[in-house]
Amino acid sequence: MSTLAEVTNEALALSLDERVVLAQRVWDSMEHFAGREVEKAWRDEVDRRWREIEEGKVQCLPAADVMKRARKSLRR
């Protein structure tokens, strides 16, 4: 049996398209993990955030900038 590290290394060696398919399959396998209440809470949160964007209450940032900030904060 493969270890998590081995599976991770194999997954990261896949092409981008293959990694996207793999990520979707893994995500799909967890969909039923959350109960209806959790799924409703997720949808409500998505709706709330989308409204804030549409109403101009929040400013969207490029993903690259967000990732740069996140990496910097984790190095502290």
**Domain spans of the chain?**
1-33, 34-76
- With the C-alpha atoms ordered 39, 63, 26, 21, is the resulting torsion angle positive or negative? positive
Residue 38 confidence (pLDDT): 83
Which of 16-25, 32-41, 55-64 shows the lowest per-residue confidence on average (mean pLDDT)?
Answer: 32-41
Instruction: Label residue 59 left, alpha or beta by phi (over 0 means left) and psi (-120 to 50 means alpha).
Output: beta
| Rounded alpha-carbon distances, angstroms, from residue 34 to 15, 42, 63 | 30, 10, 27
Q: pLDDT grade, residue 8 (50/70/90)?
A: very high
